[in-house]
Amino acid sequence: MSDALKKRKSKVLRSEMGTPEVKRGRGEGDQDVRVYSEEVELDGRDPEEDYQQYKLTCEALAQLMNDIQELKANGAKDGCAEVEQKRMQSCIHFMSLKKLNRLAHMRLKRGRDQTHEGKQRVDVLHLQLQNLLYEVMHLQKEISKCLEFKSKHEEIDLVSVDEFYQEAPPEVSRTPLTKDDTHQLTLARLDWELEQRKRLAEQYKESLSSKEKIQKGIEVKKEHLSSLQPGLNAIMQASLPVQEYLSMPFEQTQRQTEIARHLPTSLYVLLVQASAYGQACDKSLSVSISGDVDEAKALSKPPEDSQDDDSGDSDAEEEQEKTKRRRPTTGGQLDDKRREMLKRHPLSLCLDLRCKGTHTHTFYSSSFCVSASHR
């Protein structure tokens, strides 16, 4: 074979990464350079066909090995043409097996890469699904909160619908719109309630201002009246000789009037009538009050409730149990009431009657006791 034919002969190059292409270069002659890529070849090969080819190659290789063994057993030498031919065919089959092995490993690596990429896509989609489920759950919670929401306007005691349409102005009631729409009706009633509250708040402020003015006036009058009390006391002290000369004991009468408020009803009526009779008809009759004023004040006060609110129920239950265990007789109750009614009042009424001559009759009258003495 000449050199020119060798140059024109195509050369086959192997490259693991790349695409099959034809490169043309300029040199001593035209030369076609072909680049071989097993990855590109792998795309066009069927795994099932490779498997069948692998099985056939293994069988052919096993057959060649048997043939070589038989030839050597029959006395053939290593360098004979038939053994060398079998050996060359075995090498070709070994090269085919290596190629199939590389293709299988490349196919396995590609499958693993594709599986990894598929897992990554599945993970991304799963993460998106989890996010969407979380958003759905959040939206469901918000919807539940909205459905369970109780507005403050439900706690407001609004006017009735009839009263609202009667009192509210047309621009607030908007009858054509609110008659068929409950939501608009509620909004209109809330607007009317707001206007009424604003008006009442203004009235309240005006009432507070007028109240403050009245309180200031009352304080001024109180200060004025309190300033008059020392002057009146001084005038009363200065007028004591005049009162004694004119037989007009104003101070004594005032003290007696304050004490008379603690008298029982019967003695108070007797005091008023006797005093009026003595002043109008008979100057020889005088009336005075004697006794313990503090004890009378304590007696006239209403009884305080000694039971606390917290222990009221328990005390009532104990009282009921005591009543069940021991019921007083009717006679005992009547005796207690009688003793209470006949109890002597701490204040007594003294009536002094001066007759002609040197004799004076004095009568002491208590709540239910009358005595007389002669001097």
Name the DSSP class of 326.
Answer: -
Complete edge-to-edge strand list for the sheet that includes strand 11-15: 11-15, 31-37, 22-25
pTM of the model: 0.35
Looking up tokens 């919670």 gives: 141
Q: What is the pLDDT of residue 137?
A: 96
The region that residue 350 occupies, defined by phi over 0 for left and psi between -120 and 50 for alpha, beta otherwise, is beta
> What pLDDT is attached to residue 316?
55
- Please report the pLDDT score of residue 205 as a whole number: 94
Query: Which stretches in the chain have pLDDT values below 50?
Result: 1-28, 305-310, 368-375
10 Å CB burial of residue 237 (0-12, 13-18, 19+) is exposed
Give the angle 182-183-188 at the CA atoms, nearest 5°.
95
CB 346 within 8 A of CB 292: yes
pLDDT (0 to 100) of residue 12 = 38
Question: Residue 214 has what pLDDT?
Answer: 95
In sequence order, which residues have a C-beta less than 8 Å from that of residue 34 and are 6 or more positions away?
Answer: 10, 11, 12, 13, 20, 21, 22
* DSSP-assigned letter for residue 360: E
